[in-house]
């Protein structure tokens, strides 16, 4: 076994880990080790914005998890892709950048995450972002000087997407230029982490500039097996590369940024978690911390598909010739259909006028898909589109628990979808919102056919059953190592320190006290940037 010595050890080079690696290595006196189980993100389909359809099932860059049978979804097992590559899930996601709604973070603070309210996190968002925007004269302007470029791609989106904004007007919803701006209710063209026609993840924005620092060591293909614990503190980690076991010691801290599935798994493998679970798998209990792996939240959404009377992206990408043309255009100019994520219109809306804040997220895509038996998504040949509704703030909570003491064995993911009556009511309300959207004049005029099942013909009971049978994850797992008041209700304190264990933190989406109203990549990056400030201040 080889032995190594560092100040900070970061486990996971995902959206959070890349931020931490940059910030903690800025001081050349800090020797930093970044460990990633996957490999390089220098791959064509990772860097191509529409390439995430290719990485969706790719075991070379994806953990390819599946959940346990989920009673709330009529016993279905659902597929959960998670990034196993530099950049993590930020290298295989749809690049949508939504900060979340102000009350999301005020709720974090009320849950015990002191200092994480909206007024505080907004300052962090403003600091980390550069916003590439389109001026009224058509020219581009960049606002802000943060490392993370967030781009307005509306000038490159498919013309069909304008029908979705017209439908928003029909629904009485606001239409915004930027859903992350002052007007954060209603629909808008999606802002994306894309730069010059290429994905711009934190691996690009944060890790790449830090790579040449001699005090930052990046190890890929490194599966961390345990956190080493001694006398109440984390002293390092053991990790495996091929058949070689390494022991890395941390003089200052060990930081887990392995994501909402792997961070709780690693804590449990290390003896930190529910004592009965650890004993069941023959793991010595170091800290009986019962909330580790518990409290899992995710976003569920229901999609419906339509044949279109006008050309959509299907016309360009649903046949070999069109794909060749789009590919050539992208290679030559970094423009065209491959340069823009398919999630083109989205936003937060209220399911009815009586609710205090938006409770549904809408997605509208100018393309329809089919899913092969392998699970790989594909583009249909006929012009089509989809509309989708997501429960923004679910109340159901699930769990992530180890199935074995073997670090290579996937944990058991139990989402417990729709386990609360509130979520079942919301599933119907979200479906009703989609039902109304599908019947707006703007959507009806471009609808050639509503594909089965037709949501416009369903009553409440049928909508709930449709949701149980067809709804799927939007790939936003979170909260499995959440911040809170103490060990009875959480895993971490407001400084992201693991209760009862010194020199050990968790910095990723698992630390969310509750899931935000929309896509979780932006909040994860923000959380990591704030965490870096906290870690350096504490040091």
**In whole angstroms, what is the distance from residue 385 CA to residue 271 CA?**
48
Of 30, 299, 304, 476, catalytic: 476
Closest by CA position to 132, among listed 159, 168, 156:
156
Spatial contact of 8 and 37, defined as CB atoms under 8 Å apart? no
State the residue for tokens 């630390």: 511
Cis link prior to 275 (omega < 30° from 0)? no
State the residue for tokens 């080493």: 228
Spatial contact of 463 and 351, defined as CB atoms under 8 Å apart? no
DSSP 3-state of 213:
coil
Is 476 a catalytic site residue?
yes
**In whole angstroms, what is the distance from residue 185 CA to residue 52 CA?**
28
Q: Which long-range contacts (CB under 8 A, 24 or more apart) does 320-327 make?
A: none
Burial of 534 (0-12, 13-18, 19+ CB in 10 A): middle
Cα torsion 290, 291, 294, 297 to 10°: value is 170
Cis link prior to 322 (omega < 30° from 0)? no
Q: Cα separations (Å) of 453 from 51, 269, 308, 445, 456?
A: 28, 44, 16, 20, 9
Residues counted in the chain:
539
Spatial contact of 46 and 62, defined as CB atoms under 8 Å apart? no
User: Catalytic site residues?
Assistant: 476
């Amino acid at each position: 076994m080889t032995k190594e010595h560092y100040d900070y050890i970061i486990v996971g080079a995902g959206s959070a880990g890349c931020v931490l690696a940059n910030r903690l290595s800025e001081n050349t006196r800090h020797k930093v080790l970044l460990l990633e189980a996957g490999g390089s993100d220098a791959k064509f389909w990772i860097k191509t914005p529409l390439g995430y359809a290719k990485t969706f099932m790719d075991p070379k860059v994806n953990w390819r998890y599946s959940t346990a049978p989920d009673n709330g979804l009529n016993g279905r097992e659902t597929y959960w892709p998670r990034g196993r590559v530099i950049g993590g899930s930020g290298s295989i996601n749809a690049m949508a950048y939504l900060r979340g709604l102000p009350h999301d973070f005020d709720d974090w603070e009320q849950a015990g995450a002191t200092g994480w309210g909206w007024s505080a996190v907004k300052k962090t968002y403003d600091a980390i972002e550069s916003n590439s925007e389109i001026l009224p004269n058509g020219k581009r302007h960049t606002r802000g000087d943060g490392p993370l470029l967030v781009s307005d791609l509306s000038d490159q989106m498919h013309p069909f997407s304008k029908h979705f904004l017209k439908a928003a007007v029909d629904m009485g919803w606001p239409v915004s230029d930027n859903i992350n701006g002052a007007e954060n209710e209603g629909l808008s063209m999606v802002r994306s982490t894309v730069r010059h026609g290429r994905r711009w993840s934190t691996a690009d924005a944060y890790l790449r500039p830090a790579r040449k620092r001699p005090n930052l060591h990046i190890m890929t293909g490194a599966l961390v097996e345990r956190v080493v614990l001694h006398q109440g503190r984390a002293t390092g980690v053991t990790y495996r590369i091929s058949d070689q076991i390494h022991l890395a010691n941390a003089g200052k801290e060990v930081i887990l940024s392995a994501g909402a599935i792997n961070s709780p798994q690693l804590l449990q493998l290390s003896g930190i978690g529910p004592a009965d679970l650890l004993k069941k798998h023959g793991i010595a209990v170091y800290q009986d911390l019962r909330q580790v792996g518990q409290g899992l939240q995710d976003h569920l959404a229901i999609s419906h598909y339509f044949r279109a009377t006008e050309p959509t992206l299907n016309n360009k990408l649903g046949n070999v010739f069109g794909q060749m043309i789009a590919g050539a255009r992208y290679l030559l100019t970094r423009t065209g259909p491959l340069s823009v994520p398919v999630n083109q219109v989205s936003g937060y809306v209220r399911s009815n006028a009586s609710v205090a804040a938006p409770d549904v997220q809408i997605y509208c895509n100018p393309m329809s898909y089919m899913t092969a038996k392998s699970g790989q998504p594909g583009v249909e040949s006929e012009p089509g589109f989809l509309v989708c509704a997501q429960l923004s703030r679910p109340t159901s909570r699930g769990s992530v628990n180890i199935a074995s003491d073997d670090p290579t064995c996937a944990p058991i993911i139990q989402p417990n979808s729709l386990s609360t009556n509130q979520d079942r009511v919301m599933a119907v309300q979200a479906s009703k919102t989609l039902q109304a959207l599908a019947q707006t004049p703007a959507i009806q005029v471009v609808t050639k056919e509503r594909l089965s099942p037709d949501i416009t013909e369903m009553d409440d009971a049928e909508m709930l059953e449709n949701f149980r049978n067809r709804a799927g994850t939007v790939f936003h797992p979170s909260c499995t190592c959440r911040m809170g008041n103490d060990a009875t209700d959480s895993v971490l304190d407001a400084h992201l320190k693991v209760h009862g264990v010194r020199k050990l933190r968790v910095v990723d989406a698992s630390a969310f006290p509750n899931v935000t109203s929309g896509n979780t990549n932006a909040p994860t990056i923000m959380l990591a940037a704030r965490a870096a400030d906290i870690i350096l201040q504490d040091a």
